[in-house]
Amino acid sequence: MLRFLLAVVRRDLTLAARRRGDWLIAQFFFVMVASLFPLGVGPEPQMLERIGPGVLWVAATLASLLSLARLFDDDHRDGSLEHMILSPEPTLLLVLGKALAHWLIYGVPLLLVAPVLGIQFNLSWLAIGVLELSLLLGTPILSLLGSVGAALTLGLRGGGVLLTLLILPLYIPALIFGAGAVDGVIAGTGTEAHLSLLAAFMLLSLIIAPWIAAQALRVSLE
């Protein structure tokens, strides 16, 4: 079972390495959205510091949504998805492998870029550290919940728009807890509560989301 999980991850990473433009678009979108806000609101340090956590988290959420439509779609078009589902291994492992690969391809680069953008918003190093921790806990949630939406809209015309409408409301708790943790550093109210809730939400998503996505995949392919 572990070998199958790693094989799914390795396959998606190999395909992503051959199509670098696909995952670079999401990172470029993240950087552009976060960089446009300082130009729009002005260079006042206090204002940038106040809006920075929310802007960075919203940009990360939108960048994740941009990449979810192809989570299962490419494999569905070439017929390999049906073969993987018909294999003896549980479909749950397939979804977990896909979500893990999506996080490695799209989530980890966000973690690498976020500190630079945090400096742009006049965040302290402590706030940037909490931002990184919140993204480390929160970006897997985006991939896990996104797999549910990608499975539900698989093969539908206009599925990208429907995927956004289905999944974006589910991202709101992660957005609130993630941005709230950084705000807690800035306001001096502490970060433990927000990070604890974010970690609990991640564990809940890890337990529930792959199972729902696996059932949705089977229904979508019938």
Q: Give pLDDT, residue 159.
A: 67
Please enumerate in sequence order all residues whose Cβ is within 8 A of that of 216, keeping only pairs 6 or more positions apart, or say none.
148, 151, 152, 154
Summarised one tens digit per residue, pLDDT across range 118-150 is: 998 989 999 999 999 999 999 999 999 999 988
CA–CA dist 30, 24 (Å, integer): 10
Q: How far is CA 17 from CA 28, 31, 58, 108, in A?
A: 17, 21, 26, 14
Q: Among 33-47, 121-135, 148-162, which range has the highest average pLDDT?
A: 121-135
Tokens of 170: 């589910």
SS3 at position 137: helix
Region of 188 (left: φ > 0; alpha: ψ -120 to 50; beta: rest) is left
Query: How many structural domains comprise the chain?
Result: 1
Which pLDDT value is given to residue 5? Answer: 85
**pTM of the predicted protein model:** 0.89
Domain range enclosing 13: 2-221
Using pLDDT thresholds of 50, 70 and 90, give the confidence band for residue 56. Answer: very high
Report how far apart the first and last C-alpha atoms of the chain are (Å, whole number): 25
pLDDT in the model for residue 132: 94
Written as six digits, the tokens of 145 are: 């919940």
